[in-house]
Structure 1
Amino acid sequence: MSRIALLNIDTQQSFHHREYWQEQDIPAFQQAMLGLIDGCESRGIPIIDIFHVDEEGPFSLQSGYVKPMSFLRHQTAVIFQKHVHNAFTDTGLDRWLRERDINQLIVCGIRTEQCCETTARVASDLGYAVTFVSEATLTFPMTHNGITLSADELRHRTETVLAGRFADIKTVAGTLESL
């Protein structure tokens, strides 16, 4: 029997204070996140908030921004703080999940191709079944070597490299139907 948890990765106010923050994809992201969270809550699935913490800047505890974005109102089962891209390294998350016999994870949050993708990869390597709900993830355009990838291109790239290897890629509706 699968025991499931929802990992909400880095959906924290710190991002509002980054130079790359853009509002254009926020309404769709919020709607997807809230739908996924509401659906999980109504099914008794624990929601785990993960917050990224740095020594300084908007991701430091001293900044006051390491807290849920204002649109989030869910009841959290537990909160973990991370200092690297994945939610498992030195956080206690794996132990918490295993103590509760949780073996399936749903991943959502901020940044699709960074902390969400890295967490999905590590979770898979640790033996968890992973559902990656990319419509309930958010990212921003990135440029490298003069080439800019849009948020949609980054999302597609992440889905491509995760699908069939590290995670099942599903919509919010598809995820909730499968529970």
Structure 2
Amino acid sequence: MTATVLLVIDAQQSFYHRGYLETAETPDFEQRLSQLIAGCEARKIPVVDVFHVEQDGPFSLASGLVKRLPFLRHQAAATVRKHVHNALTDSGLDAWLRERQVKNLIISGLRTEQCCETTARVASDLGYNVTYVTEATLTFPITHQGITLSIADLRHRTESVLANRFATVATVAETLQTLA
């Protein structure tokens, strides 16, 4: 049994049917996430797919869109569905991890500042050691009260609030090197 698991959070086709479009960052995200997954698989680190599910719309099971983004080809050790912003509440994932004595979580997926960040915070509170691989996450600009936060702004904010509090923020290369 391994003490580490890679979580691929919400890397699902639903997002592109709710008005989110590919961004200039999408190709780098796909490359980095693919590298992270391949590196974990080569080191026998289990990969867990986490999908967000809602009652209606593109995130509903009936939509047929709650499935991996097309570039992902890995073999998941487990697949869980969540209905909230973090992957550990009411999904069965926390129990699955504890049964396998997992202590370390690597976070990747969609959206950087929402489900990925929220999962990192909850995981830390539950006692997991968290590695947050920002370059293996993707997000989209957010506008609130007339102010738009860019992808770079959102990434910086997420890294700033997670680092040295809830997670170790690392690149794909740094993460894989610590697993060697």
For normalisation by structure 2, the TM-score amounts to 0.97
Q: Percent identity?
A: 64
Structure 2 match to 1:4:
4
Distance 1:28 1:130, change over 3 A: same
- In 2, Cα distance between the equivalents of 1:21 and 1:84? 23
Task: Please tell me whether residue 74 in structure 1 is matched to residue 74 in structure 2.
Answer: yes
- In 2, Cα distance between the equivalents of 1:43 and 1:22? 30
3-state secondary structure, aligned to 1:37: helix
Structure 2 match to 1:167:
167
- In 2, Cα distance between the equivalents of 1:2 and 1:74? 18
Task: Please tell me whether residue 103 in structure 1 is matched to residue 103 in structure 2.
Answer: yes
Q: Would the aligned equivalents of 1:2 and 1:104 in 2 still touch at CA under 8 Å?
A: no
Alignment map for 1:3-152 (pairs within 5 Å):
3-152=3-152
Structure 2: tracts of 5 or more residues without a match:
none
Residue 37 (structure 1) shift: 0.1
Corresponding pairs, count: 179
Q: Give deviations 1:108-158, integer Å, cap 9, x for gaps.
A: 000000000000000000000000000000000001111100011000000
- In 1, Cα distance between the equivalents of 2:12 and 2:170? 23
Flag as ranges the 4+ runs of structure 1 deviating above 2 A: 20-23
Residue 22 (structure 1) shift: 2.8
- In 1, Cα distance between the equivalents of 2:22 and 2:149? 15
Question: For residue 38 of structure 1, what is the amino acid of its counterpart?
Answer: A
- In 2, Cα distance between the equivalents of 1:96 and 1:5? 11
3-state secondary structure, aligned to 1:91: coil
3-state secondary structure, aligned to 2:132: strand
Distance 1:56 1:47, change over 3 A: same
3-state secondary structure, aligned to 2:155: helix
For normalisation by structure 1, the TM-score amounts to 0.98
Question: For residue 33 of structure 1, what is the amino acid of its counterpart?
Answer: L
Task: Please tell me whether residue 153 in structure 1 is matched to residue 153 in structure 2.
Answer: yes
3-state secondary structure, aligned to 1:178: helix
- In 1, Cα distance between the equivalents of 2:23 and 2:149? 17
Q: Give deviations 1:3-59, integer Å, cap 9, x for gaps.
A: 100000000000111213233211000000000000000000000000000000000
CA RMSD of aligned residues (A): 1.1
Q: Would the aligned equivalents of 1:13 and 1:68 in 2 still touch at CA under 8 Å?
A: yes
- In 2, Cα distance between the equivalents of 1:155 and 1:145? 20
3-state secondary structure, aligned to 2:84: coil
Structure 1: tracts of 5 or more residues without a match:
none
- In 2, Cα distance between the equivalents of 1:107 and 1:114? 12
